Structure 1
Amino acid sequence: MYSLVTYFICWTESGKGKNFERCNIKGPIIGGPFSLTDTEGRLVTEHNLLGNWVLLYFSYTSSPDVGPAEAQKMAKAVDILESKQNLKVLPVFVTIDPQRDTMSHLRAYLKEFDLRIVGLTGSVAAIRQMAWEYRVYFRKVDEEGDDYLVESSHNMYILNPSMTVVRCFGVEYNAEQLAETIHKEMNKTGHSRSTELR
C-alpha cells in the first residue's frame, strides 16, 4: 500500500461534496525532474517535454468516474485549441496506479479518448516522486487485494515550453473553459507549435 504522505492538496471540503478550487502556484515551486516510461517502453524525462505546452494530468485507468471524465475533458480541450485556435498542446496522462497500469493497459485505455495523449508509468517510487514534485495527493482506499480505488486530488496543470507550471485546474472547469483559460495563458508568453517528445 502506498504510504500516506501529505502533499499540497488543492481542494476543500464544503457541505457534502468537494469544492475544487484553482491551485495557487505562488510559493513553493511546483514541478521538477522525473524519469518515467511511455506506453511504448521509451524513457521520458522532463527534458523530452521541453519546447511544448503540456497539459498534465495524474489519474489511473481503474478510476470509476472522475478519471475518465477528466481524460475526456483533456482530449476535448486540446481538440478545441487545435481546431479553433490552431494551437498545439501536448496532453500527458501520468498514472498514479503503476502496479495495475502496465504500458499496454495504459495505451489501450488512452486510445479510447485521444491518440495524442501521452501515457506515462513507472515504478511506485518514481510515480511517488513525481507526485511529490507536482504536489499531487493520492492514496489507496477500500483495498481488498488487487481490488481498490485510489483517492487523489485530480488536478490538471498547464506547463509552458520551459516546463514551468503556469496554471492549475480543478474538476470544476469544463472543456471549453479549460481551453479558453489555456489560450489566455499561451497568449501571455507566446505559442509553441511543437507537440512531440524529444
Structure 2
Amino acid sequence: MRLSRSPSHPGRHPRRPHLGTRRRPVAVGLALLVALVAAGCGGSASKAAGQGPAIVSLDDASPGPGLRGTTLATPMPKPDVALTDMSGHPYRLRAATAGKLTLVYFGYTHCPDVCPTTMADIAAGLSQTSEAVRRQVSVVFVTTDPDRDTPAVLRSWLTQFDPTFVGLTGTTAQITADADKFGIPVEPPRREADGSWVVDHGSQVTAFNPDGLARTVYLAGVTPADYAHDIPMLLKGA
C-alpha cells in the first residue's frame, strides 16, 4: 500500500523532533544502553498531550575528548547492511564505505523538520571543510518510509542537500531489522484517525570512523559548525 499524506493536512507535523510516547532501551555493544525515543513524524497525539522534549540518555557515554558529538562507551562495528541504492542497485554498506568516515541516518523525505534539518546541517558542516576532507566522507540516508521513498524520490530529495549523499531503501521488514543493528528504534508507518501519517524513528546520526567502528553519535542540537569541527578529527581516529 502506497502511503500518502492526507490532502487536508499538507505538511502537517504536530510532533516535534525527539517527541514520542514510547521509550525503549537499546543495547549498543556490550556495555552501553541507549534510551532512544522515536521521533514521531506526523500525527497529533504527542503535542495534544502537551509533552515536552523527550529525554535521550546515553548510559556511560560522554562528550569525546575535543569532540562535540557524544562518545559511546563501547565502539559499535559497522553493520553489514544490504539494501537498495538510488539507482536501484544492491548496496552493501560495509563494502561501499570501507575506509571512509560514514555518517548514517534513518529518516524519510516527507518529514518537514528533523530529517531535512539534519541533512542540511551535515551538508553545511561538510561545506566548511576542505575538498580533501569531503572526499573521505560518506553520508548515508536510510528511509523509514519505503513505500513513498522510491530510489528516484530519494535521489531528488537528497540532491537538494548534497549530490554525493547516498539514499537507501528496501522493504519495511528489512529496514526495521537493519535499524535494530544500529540500536535505532523504527516502526512501520501508520495512518492516524485524522488521515495523517506517523513515521516513528530514532533521529541520531551514527558516525563510523574509517576503521569501521562507531565511537560517536550526534543528537539534537548539533550545528553545522559542530560537524565541521568534528569531521576532520574523526577522520584521524578521534
Per-residue CA distance 1:5-41 (angstroms, 9 max, x = gap): 95625557xx822355665633484542211111001
TM-score, normalized by length of structure 2? 0.67
Gaps of 5+ in 1: 190-198
Deviates more, 1:160-169 or 1:103-112: 160-169
Aligned to 1:192: none
The question of whether the paired residues in 2 share the 8 Å contact of 1:10 and 1:153 is answered with no
C-alpha separation in 2, matches of 1:107 and 1:28: 31
SS in 2 for 1:154: coil
Q: State the Cα distance separating 1:55 from its structure 2 match.
A: 1.4
Say yes or no: does 1:25 pair with 2:61.
Answer: no
- The equivalences for 1:98-117 within 5 A come to 98-117=146-165
Residue 42 (structure 1) aligns with: 89
Normalising by structure 1, we get a TM-score of: 0.79
The structure in which a higher percent of residues are helix is: 1
Residue 172 of structure 1 and its aligned partner are, at CA, apart by 1.3
1:60 maps to which residue? Answer: 108
* CA distance in structure 1 between the partners assigned to 2:218 and 2:201 by the alignment: 14
- 2:184 alignment partner, SS class: coil
State the Cα distance separating 1:169 from its structure 2 match: 0.7
- Work out whether 1:186 is the aligned partner of 2:235: yes
Identity %: 25
Query: By how many angstroms is 1:118 displaced?
Result: 0.6
Is 122-131 or 146-155 further displaced after alignment?
Answer: 146-155
Q: Deviations over 1:57-80 (max 9, x none)?
A: 111001121111001011112222
CA contact (8 A) 1:39 1:120 kept: yes
Give the number of aligned pairs.
185
Hey, what does 2:52 align to over in structure 1?
Answer: 16
- The equivalent of 2:13 in structure 1 is none
Considering only aligned residues, what root-mean-square deviation do their CA atoms show, in Å?
Answer: 3.0
Letter of the structure 1 residue corresponding to residue 171 of structure 2: S
2:222 counterpart residue number? 173
Q: Give secondary structure in 2 for the equivalent of 1:25.
A: strand
Partners of 2:106 and 2:143 within 8 A in 1: yes
Q: 1:151 aligns with which of 200, 203, 208?
A: 200
Instruction: Give the 3 Å change call, closer, same or farther, for CA 55–84 of structure 1 in structure 2.
Output: same
State the 1:181 CA deviation.
Answer: 1.9
Q: Judge which range, 110-119 or 28-37, deviates more.
A: 28-37
Which of 129, 143, 146 is residue 81 of structure 1 equivalent to? Answer: 129
**Greater RCO, 1 or 2 (C-alpha within 8 Å, sep 6+):** 1
Q: What stretches of structure 2 of length at least 5 have no aligned partner?
A: 2-21, 27-33, 38-50, 58-68
